Amino acid sequence: MTVPPALPPASPAPLPADHPLSTGATASSPLIQAYRGVRPATTPVWFMRQAGRSLPEYRALRSDLRTGTSMLDTCLDPELASEITLQPVRRHGVDAGIFFSDIVIPLRLAGVGVEIAAGTGPVFDHAVRTAADVDALVGSGTLQADDDALEPVREAVRRTVAQLGPVPLIGFAGAPFTLAAYLVEGRPSRDHLAARRLMHTDPAAWGRLMAWCADVTGAFLRAQLLAGASAGQLFDSWAGSLSRADYVQHVAPASARALSWARGLSASDGATIPLVHFGLGTASFLDAMRDAGADVVGVDYRLPLDEASHRLDDAVPLQGNIDPALLAAPWPVLEAHARDVLRRGRSAPAHVVNLGHGVPPDTDPDVLTRLVALVHEAGVE
């Protein structure tokens, strides 16, 4: 796939003087040290989907909201998004907040009609199935990191960072393939057949769509980083439906384009914001995800961390990969699994403990709190 070069706003730039990495507030935190390949005295831990439905305080907040406040509206309310981001940090003592948002938020901000349907997920007004559909979408415009549409996102980040202090905030963005798959399917899909069909039947249209998605999500991530997030993570929820060959040829260039929006943002000491690349079911192309521009590779629950590290020449910090299913197991089972993850993570230059996917909604939050304590007490054993 031929992907045009990233737009000029993606060029390297200094971080604002009051950014937590510029002031030093988060630069020495365990998370940032680990992301930069230095093993801190305490292994850092946070959880994908740590904010939201597993927390009683989140459910209470949602129940208190007036009727008609949708999930996407909540994500774009700076006060609510900040509060929800902070809730698991307060409760669990995790080493980072992950910005509370949704993968489709940048699409909505770019003018795409989408809502979250209860029990279904994102549902779009129109699916993007043909070259004409792609041209209409691309012709409608895109996002820039300084667009007014992104101000609620920037304000939510600023509010959150002010409360977190030395705890880093991680910026959140969906990878181009996941956004494109949603757009082409028009709703969640198990096999993303329509997206893969467009990829092969009209690779030129697919390339235009992927470049557009890369710029939309890249601008969304860059806005968060400039507003105060100390790291960024690109989530590719659906890349596991792809073969290695398809990922390398038809997806990786757009992921690199998206990451280029965040690449090179540097503090006064010259250190850049670390970037994490995570995909579900992507064990066969972790190296390609690294090569797209990631400093850290997230590993799902299917592949042991020592094997993942070996595939990356034992040269890349890793994040992961406790199996979310085991959060409901008896504590001795979960504890043994967590210690095994910690042991296998020693193969990498540094390791951030996380789940191999998101926190299930029915998880007992006390289990997560206990798991954080276990990881912290284990140190770098």
pLDDT exceeds cutoff 50 at 116 = yes
The verdict on whether omega for the bond into residue 321 sits within 30 degrees of 0, i.e. cis, is yes
Instruction: Determine the pLDDT at residue 185.
Output: 94
Q: Average the pLDDT over 315-332 and give the result.
A: 98
Q: Would the pLDDT of 88 be above 90?
A: yes
Do the Cβ atoms of 308 and 286 come closer than 8 Å?
Answer: yes
Report the distance separating Cα 27 and Cα 46, nearest Å.
17
Total domain count, the chain: 1
272 bridge partner residues:
266
What would the mean pLDDT of 24-40 be, rounded to a whole number? 97
Question: 7: pLDDT confidence band, cut at 50, 70 and 90?
Answer: very low
CA torsion through residues 320, 326, 328, 334, sign: negative
**Residue type present at position 303:** L
Q: Which of 176-180, 319-323, 375-379 has the lowest average pLDDT?
A: 375-379
What whole-number percentage of the chain has pLDDT above 70? 96
pLDDT of residue 9: 47
The reply to whether 160 falls in a domain is yes
- Cβ neighbours around 61 below 10 Å, total: 15
- Within a domain: residue 2? no
**Could you tell me the CATH number of the domain that includes residue 260?**
3.20.20.210
* Per-residue model confidence as pLDDT tens digits over 226-272: 999 999 999 999 999 999 999 999 999 999 999 999 998 998 888 89
Tokens of 184: 């082409």
349 pLDDT higher than 60 = yes
Mean pLDDT score of the chain, rounded to an integer?
94
Mean predicted confidence (pLDDT) in 320-336: 98
Contacts of 380 (CB under 8 A, 6+ apart): 39, 40, 41, 42, 43, 346
Distances (CA, A) of 244 to 249, 284, 288: 9, 6, 9
- The pLDDT of 295-312, averaged and rounded, is 98
Which tens digits make up the pLDDT trace of 51-65?
988 999 999 998 877
Question: Around Cβ 147, how many Cβ atoms within 10 Å?
Answer: 17
Residue 3 covered by a domain: no
> In the structure, what pLDDT confidence band is assigned to residue 380 with cuts at 50, 70 and 90?
low
Confidence band, pLDDT 50/70/90 cuts, at residue 190: confident
In this predicted structure, the answer to whether residue 191 has a pLDDT above a threshold of 60 is yes
169-174 and 13-14 beta bridge pairing? unpaired
Strands 121-124 and 114-117: antiparallel
pLDDT higher than 70, residue 66: no
Within a domain: 137:
yes
pLDDT, tens only, 202-226: 999 999 999 999 999 999 999 999 9
Q: With bands split at pLDDT 50, 70 and 90, how would you rate the model's confidence at 200?
A: very high
Task: Return the pLDDT at 232.
Answer: 98
Q: How does residue 12 score in pLDDT terms, banded at 50, 70 and 90?
A: confident
Residues 6 or more apart whose CB falls under 8 angstroms from that of 24 comprise none
pLDDT digits (tens, 9 = 90+) for 133-163: 999 999 998 999 899 999 999 999 999 999 9
Q: Evaluate whether residue 1 is within a structural domain.
A: no
Residue 120 has a pLDDT of 87
Cα first-last separation, the chain: 44
Distance CA 220, CA 298 (A): 20
pTM, two decimal places: 0.95
pLDDT (0 to 100) of residue 189? 85
Name the more confident of 78 and 10: 78
Query: For the chain, what is the HEC assignment?
Result: CCCCCCCHHHCCEECCCCCHHHHCCCCCCHHHHHHCCCCCCCCCECCCCCCCCCCHHHHHHHHHCCCCCCHHHHHCCHHHHHHHHHHHHHHHCCCCEECCCCCCHHHHHCCCCEEEECCCEEEECCCCCCHHHHHHHHHCCCCCCCCHHHHHHHHHHHHHHHHHCCCCEEEEEECHHHHHHHHHHCCCCCCCHHHHHHHHHCHHHHHHHHHHHHHHHHHHHHHHHHHCCCEEEEEECCHHHCCHHHHHHHCHHHHHHHHHCCCCEECCCCCECCEEEEECCCHHHHHHHHHCCCCEEECCCCCCHHHHHHHCCCCCCEECCECHHHHHCCHHHHHHHHHHHHHHHCCCCCEEECECCCCCCCCCHHHHHHHHHHHHHHCCC
For residue 173, give its domain range: 8-378
| Close Cβ partners of 124 (under 8 Å, ≥ 6 residues apart) | 112, 113, 114, 182, 183, 186, 187
At 10 the pLDDT is: 54
More confident of the two residues 145 and 326: 326
Q: Which residue has the higher pLDDT, 132 or 188?
A: 132
